[in-house]
Amino acid sequence: MKKKPISIRYTTVPHGIRNKKAQIERMTMLFRFMIVSFMAVVMFAGLIWVMGILNDTFMDIGEANEGMLPGVNLTRTAEQTFGQVNSSIQALRLVAICLIFSEIMLIFIFNAFQRVHPMMFMIWVLIVFFAVMFAAPISNSYESLLQSGIYDGTLESFTGSNFVLLNLPTVVLLVGIIGSIFMFINIIRAGNEEAL
């Protein structure tokens, strides 16, 4: 007599057992959103600032040594290398705001399409509460960075990202509420599918 292999189908596995790593990931999504947003904007602003300094330094060196080397135009060389990099790296402002909105959309999509146990809704509400409390110090520290004039005002040029980070507690609360709506709709939809 042959034994049948044990197969676990997707529909027979209870909600709590299925994909625990993804449920833990969901718990940390709001915190990851805040940290990634803050760090990306600060690092991108620093990179833009450093590339601006490098570009200015190479241009000054080129102008100071213009007649020293016959047949070599150091200013043109600096414009063609670091000048091009400096002008293209300005796009990091757009990359920062796109990264922030992609993190927000990831939270919405994750909450809308992954099946969870209904108890996760209450845990999500607690996570949103703690995330809003955690967002206030991040927003205050970002405001301190802006007021300190770090990176010679380069950080102030991130207008969209500045709006999100200066209003981070409100943004986190809105993302948490909209995410909870998606999660609640998903819980109802999953319950209806299992009843069939």
Q: Which two tokens stand for residue 45?
A: 């602003």
For residue 6, being part of any structural domain is answered with no
Q: Is residue 64 part of a domain?
A: yes
In a domain, 11, yes or no: no
| Digit-coded pLDDT (tens) for 28-87 | 889 999 999 999 999 999 999 999 888 888 888 777 777 776 777 777 777 887 778 888
The burial class, CB within 10 Å (0-12 / 13-18 / 19+), for 183 is buried
The pTM assigned to this predicted structure is 0.77
Compute CA distances 126 → 7, 30, 47, 113, 155, whole Å.
36, 12, 36, 21, 33
Mean pLDDT for the chain? 82
In a domain, 3, yes or no: no
Q: What's the number of domains the chain is made of?
A: 1
Q: Is residue 68 part of a domain?
A: yes
Residue 192 has pLDDT above 70, yes or no: no
pLDDT in tens, 19-28: 566 666 667 8
Cα–Cα distance measured from residue 158 to residue 121, given in angstroms and rounded to the nearest whole number = 35
Q: Report if residue 88 sits inside a domain.
A: yes
